Amino acid sequence: MLISLFRFFLFPNGILAIALYAFYIIPVIIFRRLFNLPHTSPASWDLSTDILIHLVRYSMRGRDWRRLRKLMGLVDAIGRVMVWAMGFRIERVKRLAGSSSEYVVEGAWIVGKGDIVPNVRSQEWKDRLVVLWVHGGGYTTGSSLSFASANCEIMRHYQELAEEIRAPPMLYFAMEYPKAPESKYPKQLETMLSTYIWLVQQVGVTNIMIAGDSAGANLALNLHRSLLMLNKKTSIVLPRALVLLSPWMDVSRSHTPPHIQEHFAATSDYLSTKLLDAFAANITPSGLNRRDPSISPIFDLEPLDMPHDGIFVVYSGSEVLTPDIDDWVESMRRQNNQNRNLLKVLRVDDMPHDFAVALHAFPTPIRKASVYALREVARFAFGSFLRGTYDM
């Protein structure tokens, strides 16, 4: 225990290292701004944003995903406190997906403090909108409660909209999945499929929106395609909508020229290309090409059937993954030329990767952009609920 604490807090990989770096970089940034010296950060960033991104970038430097996993443990603890502070509560779930299933459903219901947790089948859940949330973290770090304040922001604004017509609040299930490198892909996809089937068959949910950020958005998109294939063999409730926040579209990192991604990583993002490569090595089993469409949707040439209520993509115009997301969005628009309204896109400039979720809790101007994006997600979700309830 003492050794673990020592490793977590002390140099070179822990909190103390970040604190020492802060003592160095903060005066440098202030001096640079006072005297208008050349710098690489976007001109729109204020001092607090510049400092925050430099510190996050430092904490995520290199290929050391183990260090990041330790830091995410602290973020998860903060997430639990934020859920309570925002007026919600957490109910943990861990059970078999079914009597004959080898997969364990694990995660957390995030509900209002007076709401009932839907762990048993009931007609009450039939018409409620349920969000199945899949967290990011390169398939390697994080948990169902990472950045939970962002989830609560969506729920809170949705609740405001629902109260206007006396509709029930949404239900929010944040799932866990096995982490790489201990578990290779597609173990994560298989676990998510079992969780989805559990919601439909064991809980009795019929209106589901799948949402995820970064690697979680990659997983959400891959699940949608898997469900479409499964529906051809046996009838299954399909998700009504997808929400993809800064989705990881290319695990191979070969679609976009490396120098373009390096430019974003060095100027307007905290996510390093080295860390992306480490995540890719962790998740990909031997024998699976990283350009395989089953894990890198950017290379999927087959037309994608849109969910009934569409897909909402939120991302930055200045993140490492921007070129890949831009190209995927354009491809989807060409595929769905007759139903272009089913693809909604919110692209915000001068923001880092996953700004809507990962940096929601920080009191900088990024939070303002994050809150706006999450409220748009809530409006999109509420529109899906209305169409599902009143067959609009």
The C-alpha atoms of residue 32 and residue 39 are separated, in whole angstroms, by: 8
Q: Is 130:168 a contact under the CB 8 Å cutoff?
A: no
The widest CA-to-CA distance across the chain, in whole angstroms, is: 67
pLDDT above 50: residue 1: no
Most confident of 50-64, 99-113, 342-356: 342-356
pTM of structure: 0.93
The C-alpha atoms of residue 155 and residue 169 are separated, in whole angstroms, by: 8
| Residue 69 pLDDT level (bands cut at 50, 70, 90) | confident
Residue (of 200, 175, 203) closest to 189 by Cα position: 175
Q: What is the pLDDT of residue 97?
A: 64
Residue (of 29, 45, 25, 33) closest to 316 by Cα position: 45
The C-alpha atoms of residue 268 and residue 82 are separated, in whole angstroms, by: 27
C-alpha dihedral (48, 54, 55, 58), degrees to nearest 10? 180
Q: What is the pLDDT of residue 9?
A: 46
The C-alpha atoms of residue 43 and residue 378 are separated, in whole angstroms, by: 30
Q: What is the pLDDT of residue 64?
A: 76
Residue matched to tokens 């995410």? 72
The C-alpha atoms of residue 91 and residue 118 are separated, in whole angstroms, by: 10
